[in-house]
Amino acid sequence: MKMAEFEVYQSAYCGLCRALGKEFGPFARLTLSYDYAFAAVFKMALTDSGFCGFEKGRCLVNPLKKKVFCRPNADIDFIANIAMLMMYYKLKDDIADSGFLKKLKYFIALPFVALAKNRAARRYPVIDRAIARCMDRQAGIEQEGVSSIDLAADPTAQALSVIFAEFSGNEKQKAALSRFGYLLGRWIYIIDALDDLEDDLKEKNYNPFLLSPTQDLDAVRKNAEGVLNLTAGEISNAYVLIDFGKFKPILDNVIYLGLPVMLKNVNNPQRSRKNDRSL
Amino acid sequence: MTDPYKVLGVSPSAGDDEVKSAYKELAKKYHSDNYVNNPLADLAEEKMKEINVAYDTIMNERRNGRSGQSSSGYSSGYGTSSGSSQFADIRRLITQNRIVEAEELLNGIPAQNRDAEWHFLKGNIFYKRGWLDEAFRSFTTAVNMSPNNMEYRAAYSNMARQRGGAMNGYPGGYRTSDTVNGCNGCDMCTSLVCADCCCECMGGDLIPCC
């Protein structure tokens, strides 16, 4: 990636951080990851976006350094709202999954997050419902111990499908975005499952890959690689039909280089520690 | 009308060769072969028409100032040859993206009548839904049951190529896995089968035994 292109990414991240702090309070900034920066750049890259340039400012975390921010715009606010919704459902999920002490900690955070979530949900009820439904279905799938990768990935995929379809008002573009979102969500779910393979085996957690007929982890990894490549191939078929007005090289970079490299990293057993899996 | 140069992503001062190669690059992206049974096939076809018109407009303008319309252009829409299908109505539903109804009908077929085509259609339903793993499995079954059917084989080898890492629209052509970790045995086999398919389409044969 060229330096200038990285700066766009960085400025989307900083812009989001500022929007989250302003709209939902300082704790909301904690939920930010580069996944949302990708979503923001993607949203701003679409032809019908509200992107309105950059500006320089100071960062709260590192006030000595001047950073480039995306000027506040509708796209950044939109993604910030989605991040808030995600944070709420993630927190609820964590409460269900963790031990007593952690539960307590999360419970203290919950009312604040719930407040912010309600505000976001009022603005984007369709997305809120889609994520809620995804979490419900996911819980059911884990309880049943579903072994089909396709079915296991479906709730996440459906949620991202709804979210990406909301990125544009144009009916035809919605169709392409919806399929793109579905496949991207599927890809993300599968690569997370692959990344958690060893941990889930140790802790006896649900993981669709561990329920496949073969118990040989290398074979599982090899097959997962095929599944992910196939998904990325289909992502690219939807991707080329989406109309972008700008930032296309940055997105190309993520789609054509980022996805395969991430797969390679996750599937490399010698890596020292968990890579961060952000797009 | 939209600016034909914008559609092709080239500047009006670009030479004929540059226009042509930009056009070819896009035509490869939107080619109907990449979108057989894809729910986005309509959109791809539309894009193909757009670039065909843009290319023709530019070339005609350059050739004779203006007027006339003839031309080259990749054809869009191969149309899947259904031949004599016992599942014609199901195929129609799938083409119309009515996959819930299609699946219901398909599941109603008793097990002893489930031939290669049945598995192929099942694969298409999975594919449209984005259930790519099941789709690949169904296509594999279809090809194993009826190895000479071009339609099933095309669907299968397309996915096999993607499983090897092929992506559409990679700047500078198709991305294949060898940019990441070299060409493996699996790639070679699928490429050979692919080449064999192409040969057979034209009446020749590369691998006599299949």
pLDDT in tens, A110-134: 888 888 889 999 999 999 999 999 9
Q: In which band, very low, low, confident or very high, does the pLDDT at B198 lie, cut at 50, 70 and 90?
A: low
Name which of A151, A227, A228, A241 to mutate to probe chain B: the one with the most chain B Cβ atoms within 10 A of its Cβ: A241
Please provide the average confidence, as pLDDT, over all residues in chain A. Answer: 87
Q: Does B126 touch chain A (CB under 8 A)?
A: yes
Chain B residues touching residue A236 (CB < 8 angstroms): 167-170
In the predicted model, is pLDDT for residue A197 greater than 80?
yes
**Rounded to whole angstroms, what are the CA distances from A26 to A31, A87, A93, A121, B115?**
10, 14, 22, 19, 61
Of chain B, the percentage scoring pLDDT greater than 90 comes to 39
Domain covering B4-64 in this structure, CATH number: 1.10.287.110
Ranges in chain B annotated CATH 1.25.40? 82-148
Which of B38, B163, B169 has its CB closest to that of A226? B163
Question: Measured between alpha carbons, how far is A52 from A71 in angstroms, rounded to an integer?
Answer: 6
CB contact under 8 A, A237 and B34: yes
Which of A51-55, B81-85, B153-157 is the least confident region? B81-85
Residue B125: the pLDDT is 94
pLDDT in tens, A3-26: 677 888 888 988 899 889 888 888
Top pLDDT among B160 and B61 is at B160
Q: Among A169-183, A207-221, A242-256, which is the least confidently predicted range? A: A207-221
CB within 8 Å: B40 and A175:
yes
Could you give the count of Cα atoms lying within 13 Å of A174 in the half-sphere of its Cβ?
Answer: 8
Helix (H, G, I), strand (E, B) or coil at A246: coil
* Per-residue pLDDT tens over the stretch B53-70: 899 888 888 877 644 444
Smallest CA-to-CA distance from A17 within A63, A87, A92, A83 is with A83
Residues A137-153 have a mean pLDDT of 93
- Write the residue in B40, B133, B166 that is nearest to A179 by C-beta: B40
- Cα–Cα distance measured from residue A37 to residue A245, given in angstroms and rounded to the nearest whole number: 18
Q: In a mutagenesis test of the A interface, which of B35, B162, B176 is the best target, namely the one with the most A β-carbons within 10 Å? A: B162
Residue B66: both structure tokens together: 């203006």
Q: Which fold has domain B82-148?
A: 1.25.40
Whether B40 and A255 lie within 8 Å, measured CB to CB:
no
Instruction: Give the residue among A237, A138, A129 at the shortest CA–CA distance from A179.
Output: A237
Higher pLDDT, residue A105 or B187? A105
Residue ranges, CATH 1.10.287.110, chain B:
4-64
HEC string of chain B?
CCCHHHHHCCCCCCCHHHHHHHHHHHHHHHCHHHHCCCCCHHHHHHHHHHHHHHHHHHHHHHHHCCCCCCCCCCCCCCCCCCCCCCCHHHHHHHHCCCHHHHHHHHHCCCHHHCCHHHHHHHHHHHHHHCCHHHHHHHHHHHHHHCCCCHHHHHHHHHHHHHHCCCECCCCCCCECCHHHHCCCHHHHHHHHHHHHHHHHHCCCCCCCCC
Domains of chain A by residue range:
146-279
The residue-averaged pLDDT of B149-162 equals 93
What pLDDT, on the 0 to 100 scale, is given for residue B181?
Answer: 40
pLDDT beyond 90 at B205: no
Q: Residue A122 carries which side chain, given as an amino acid letter?
A: R
A186·B162 Cβ contact <8 A: no
Closest chain A residue to B161, measured at CA: A230
Residue A67 tokens read as 């950073």
Summarize pLDDT for B70-86 with one digit per residue, the tens: 444 454 434 444 445 67
Residues in CB range of B49: below 8 A, 6 or more apart: B76
Please say if the pLDDT value at position B180 is more than 50.
Answer: no
Give the residue, A225 or A94, on which the prediction is more confident: A225
CA B118, CA A173: separation in Å to the nearest integer? 32
Q: Structure pTM?
A: 0.82
Mean pLDDT of chain B: 79
At residue A132, the pLDDT reads: 92
Distance between CA atoms of residues A112 and A27, nearest Å: 9
* Closest CB from B130, B162, B168 relative to A240: B168
- B 62-91 residues inside an 8 A Cβ radius of A: none
Q: Which letter, b or e, does each residue of A222-259 get, where b requires 16 or more Cβ atoms within 10 Å of its Cβ?
A: ebbbbbbbbbbbbbbbbbbbbebeebeebbbbbbbbbb
